[in-house]
Amino acid sequence: MNIKLVVVGKVKEKYFRDGISEYEKRLSRFCKFKIVQVSDEKAPESLSEAEMDEVKQKEGERILSKIGDKEFVFALAILGKQFSSEEFAAKIKDLTTYGHSDITFVIGGSLGLSDAVMKRANDTISFGRFTLPHQLMRLVFCEQIYRAFMINNGSPYHK
């Protein structure tokens, strides 16, 4: 099984990088896990709606260039579906049971995901209506992927 996390921008803080690296290492016993970073589009603080769309479109093109035709894609979006950890684990298990060995998760830039990326996504995930820094979201999501594998393996880690 291949799990890929396509993300916009770099993780700047060492403590986030260290946490993410720890989950990458832990996940290696369950799957081939990789994080693919695409560069974020430089933009001033105040943008018009059209400028925001242009930034998302450019980042979206970079994201889509990293996704293959056969990959099952989840877009992380505020308005996406909310799953409990158990439901998320079951979703991953079901996908692999029914022939989806390449699963990709997409975390967009600070402005979100382009319409093209949302159209390419097979499903969505939301961590609620909170706005979280993308670096923190990356760490939290890596932990949730690890937790899903631990649940599916009957590990006490989840308790």
- Whether residue 76 is annotated as binding a ligand: the answer is yes
Residue 75 contacts residue 117 (beta carbons within 8 Å): yes
- Whether residue 109 is annotated as binding a ligand: the answer is no
- Domain covering 2-42+50-154, topology: Alpha/beta knot (3.40.1280)
The pTM of the full predicted model, rounded to 2 decimals, is: 0.95
- CA distances 146 to 26, 141, 153, Å, are 7, 9, 11
Q: What is the distance between the alpha carbons of residues 136 and 114, in angstroms, rounded to a whole number?
A: 21
Query: Hey, where are the domains in the chain?
Result: 2-42+50-154
Task: Return averaged pLDDT per consecutive 10 residues of the chain, 159 residues in all.
Answer: 96 96 97 97 88 96 97 95 96 95 95 96 93 90 97 87
Residue 132 contacts residue 143 (beta carbons within 8 Å): no
Structure tokens at 155: 């590990």
